[in-house]
Amino acid sequence: MASLYLALTFDKRTFQETVVKIGILKYQDRKERVRTCFFAEFINLVSSESNDVCSREDKRTIAPEHVLKALEVLGFGEYIEEVYAAYEQHKLETMHDSLKGGKWSNGAAMTEEEAAAAQQRMFDEARARMNGGVTAPKQPETNQSLKS
């Protein structure tokens, strides 16, 4: 009887402290986990249907059009316009990045002579590493036009 009385007199703060102490997830944590599971399942569902659409068209790679068709088939037609807009935005950003020279480019173009010099420098550094840090004597370059 005393334990029933004690259970009924727990206030909210005591209950929350007890819940946290014994490791029960808070409401927000549970809600976030359910949301994460839902999104993962949604992605799996759309991916699977996109793969089926792709296979029916005898294609080997899933294209954005396959994803849009999968959304329609699965009854998520209200998302198609927004997904298509995001796809168009992605294409614009990708095109803009490729016009800038890609992610590895720093915007400064190298002349052919600079590129050849950089390549030769890298060859020399690699040769030095292969020889244990000892630089091998460089062979004199012969100019083919002088020999004729």
Alpha carbon distance 79, 102 (integer Å): 31
Give phi and psi for 11, each to the nearest 5: -90, 170
pLDDT tens for 83-134 read 999 999 998 888 877 766 555 555 567 788 999 999 999 999 998 888 876 5
Write down the mean pLDDT value for the chain.
77
Q: What is the C-alpha separation between 101 and 120, in angstroms, rounded?
A: 24
% residues pLDDT > 70 (the chain) = 62
**Residue 122, number of CB atoms within 10 A of its CB:** 10
Chain centroid to CA 6: how far? 53
CA 28, distance to chain mean position in Å, is 27
The answer to whether 66 and 59 have CB atoms below 8 angstroms apart is: yes
